[in-house]
Homo-oligomer: A and B are copies of this chain.
Amino acid sequence: MCILMMHEKRFLHTMTFLQEVVDILMAYIVESFDRETKVIDFHYPNELLQMNNWELQDEPATLDDILISCRATLKYAIKTAHPRYFNQLSTGLDMVGLAADWLTSTANTNMFTYEVAPVFVLLEYVTLKKMREIIGWPDGRGDGIFSPGGAISNMYAMLLARFKMFPEVKEKGMSSVPRLVAFTSEHSHFSIKKGAAALGIGTESVICIKADESGKLVPADLERRILEAKQKGFVPFFVSATAGTTVYGAFDPLIAISDICKKYNIWMHVDGAWGGSLLMSRRHRWKLDGVERANSVTWNPHKMMSVPLQCSALLVREEGLMQNCNQMHACYLFQQDKHYDLSYDTGDKALQCGRHVDIFKLWLMWRAKGTIGFEAQIDKCLELSEYLYNKIKDREGYEMVFDGKPQHTNVCFWYLPPGIRYMEDKEERKKHLHKVAPVIKARMMEYGTTMVSYQPQGDKVNFFRMVISNPAATFEDIDFLIEEIERLGQDL
């Protein structure tokens, strides 16, 4: 009895600790949404290393010490929910999504079998089907999986395309097949090349297709390069079209691409990691017209739908292919003599063995918002970006990186401080301009007022890439960003 009481006392103590952490987290959430709070309390790595004792010890710390560690960790964290944090494609913090993620951690299980994750496996089934319906595949038929991020989803697609054309590659490897080539736009995500390197295809076998001024793949160039490859005796097996490029937010012309893929019998993948969510919007889904012709689609709800990180889906049109491609029949996990319907043991179609539960946060948010709720938040973010575009396109000191209204929430622009605005020497001007965005960004982080990304692209020097995926952002936050860029960049 005495031991039992000790246990209970310790247990109560632990629950109190958990509640104390929750209180810290709640306070952090309130702060994160408060515009008076800094987006970041920035310190250089060597400083930050010295600001706290981060080292691991042999001896235990007290629970009070642990609470101090939690507070310190949050103090120096980026407030990714802050309405003025525009730095990444994933921003914001949805309370239902967060609650769902807390529940997921508490349930602490694995997606490989129905046996250990009955509800989550069913919810994955229901949600993937719904997503396939939205893509436009008849009755939502097909297959899919939630994977650890868009890069892995894209790699899955490439793996499936190769297996579909040459199933013997699974046993015999790449030496059994002719030289394969993949095609994707020069603006596409680097994960296509990364995947090709990993899968033993090689980055040189990823052929970069020209993009037009606004970042869309040029179909004529795609066809030309396919013919060129075939003439060399290579086998085109995979085209990755992008729905929402990372920098410009461009949507490749899917119908034209699908015609070419059909003509040459090539697997068509759509990397909609960033832009796939526009399928939820009646106003914007036309940008993905033709997606229903794809063989596979990457779609990351953790980006434009603000689902907590991470949540990425690969949707596949053909049923059974993933299973055949990846299964290894591990008999200690996928016993064939179990007492329930084994089609729910989906683990063997994955590259992973254990797989984190990423489904519940998406499913619960979808319940809470409904499809129309997601649509409204996506439409709102696109409205904000149009507002930004309209505000700066003719404003003194700004130049747009490409013409025309943004297709996604990406707005790409240069800010020219007065000092270089009228420089005559174009090369000199370019050289100066290249240094402007990094300095403004560094100052933003030091002041902690806002964060936005920048990069060069091709022959274009450093420019800002503004993206909006946080439904907590408002028109005033856009105004603030512009004021802040001018305040911090005026003297450059």
Contact = CB atoms under 8 A, between A and B. Distances in A.
Contacts of A337: 435, 438, 462
Contacts of A84: none
A40 to B, nearest CB: 8
Stoichiometry, as copies per complex, reads 2
A106 interface: yes
Interface string A89-121: 010010110111111011111100011111110
B118 A371 contact: no
A57 B371 contact: yes
Given A109-B309, A152-B352, A60 B119 contact: no
Contacts of A21: 99, 102-103
Contacts of A170: 197, 202-203
A61 B368 contact: yes
A2 interface: no
A320 interface: no
A57 B122 contact: no
A446 to B, nearest CB: 8
Contacts of A194: 326, 328, 351
Given A117-B78, A173-B204, A61 B370 contact: yes
A339 B435 CA distance: 12
A34 to B, nearest CB: 10
Contacts of A44: 340-341
Contacts of A29: 15, 18, 106
Contacts of A366: 56
A352 B151 contact: yes
A55 B46 CA distance: 50
Contacts of A102: 21-22, 25, 102, 105
A269 interface: no
A81 B24 CA distance: 25
A447 interface: no
Interface in A359-401: 360, 363-364, 366-373
B95 A81 contact: no
B58 A118 contact: no
Nearest to A102: B102
Contact of A353 (B30, B189, B357, B455): B189
Contacts of A198: 155, 159, 198-199, 326, 351
A126 interface: yes
Contacts of A118: 42-43, 45, 48, 76-78
Nearest to A54: B126
A18 B353 contact: no
A151 B353 contact: yes
B22 A78 contact: no
A102 B66 CA distance: 14
Contacts of A442: 338-339
Interface stretch (A67-75, A254-262, A423-431): A67-75
Contacts of A328: 190, 193-194, 197, 203
Contacts of A18: 26, 29, 95, 98-99
Interface string A331-345: 111010111110010
Contacts of A232: none
Interface in A260-288: none
A478 B201 CA distance: 50
A454 B353 contact: no
Interface stretch (A174-182, A220-228, A413-421, A481-489): A174-182
Contact of A354 (B48, B150, B247): B150
Given A56-B130, A73-B103, 6 more contacts: A15-B26, A22-B102, A61-B370, A105-B105, A151-B351, A170-B203
8 interchain residue pairs of minimum CB distance: A200-B200, A173-B202, A174-B174, A174-B200, A148-B148, A339-B442, A332-B455, A101-B105
7 contacts: A48-B118, A63-B368, A76-B119, A172-B202, A189-B330, A190-B330, A338-B441
